[in-house]
Amino acid sequence: MTKTSRDDKLRKGIEEAKNALQIEAEAVLKLKEELDGSFKRAMELIIDAKGRVVFTGVGKTGLVAKKLAATFSSTGTSAFFVHAGEGLHGDLGMIREGDVVIAVSNSGETDEVISLIPSLRRIGVTLIALTGNGDSTLAEHADLILKADVITEACPHNLAPTASTTAAIALGDALAIALSTYHGFTPEDFALYHPGGSLGRKLLTKVRDVIKIREQNPVVKIETSVREALFKMTKSRMGSTSIVDQEGKLKGIITDGDIRRLLEKSSDFIDRPVKDYMTVDPISIAPDRLAAEALQIMEAKEINDLPVVEDQKPVAMLNFQDLLRAKVF
């Protein structure tokens, strides 16, 4: 293959890629324009259902159904996936009366899906057809039709499921988000279902969880010398120390940066009381606050250490590196 012919093929491939994106984008926008009362009715059926939401399908639309079940579950609507083929061989036992079954099939004539209908009727479910064919067998036997039809597939031969699967995913996602909004699903709820993800860490990790990493709490009394405060920092391997009054209440903070800046001028201060050089009434945070909030404070104020205070008394010193180590970013 010559370089010219290779370049020509690459150029043609990129043109088809752009065309595919255009077709799929238009398919999704078409759904927006055609959203009607059946969508609202689907919401009502799911909201009022005594059971759960069950997605089913086979092949490419089976993968769509599996993805939508995961999206529903992660946004507050309990759902699971049953492969239509496996359903014919025992997995229908996972479905019970009162469930809402959303069957995904672009043609609405998928053999495995159609074969489930008699048993689903006997079980006593509400059947929603997510299909591109409103005149299909599936649509005929469904209680409700969510139509996700497309003019053409993004495949240049109009064969591979592309625009049709994108449309089905988009419509299913829209339904999941609509239900999530109806139920008042919050970022904290989302984090609860995603504790291992970055959002979960941001919304679930508290300051008290992070300070366990180092368990350091350098504290000196207000009359302590700057020299002793520096020793305290060095021993704790922290870049600052809290300064407290006789009752142990936080009054100030001094950092190694403060001391370095003082040393540039003179060393006469080193044995003087730390109260003369401390930052008075420093910013602090409570242990039950979100670690992400502490990170925001430290970034905004450009500080590396933040006293953790409970009942006005420092219980720990939070370090910026500890937050990074806890992956709160």
For the annotated binding site for Zn(2+), the residues are 83
List the end-to-end C-alpha distance of the chain, in Å, as a whole number. 49
Three-state secondary structure call for residue 275: helix
Binding site: which residues? 83
What DSSP string runs through 180-200? HHHTT--HHHHHHH-TTSHHH
| Nearby residues of 68 by Cβ (< 8 Å), 6 or more positions away | 55, 79, 102, 104, 169, 172, 173, 176
Please state, as a whole number, how many other Cβ atoms lie within 10 Å of the Cβ of residue 91. 16
What DSSP string runs through 52-98? -EEEEE-HHHHHHHHHHHHHHHHTT--EEEEEHHHHTTTGGGG--TT
Name the residue with tokens 């059926």.
45
CA-CA distance, 101 to 53, in Å (whole number)?
A: 6
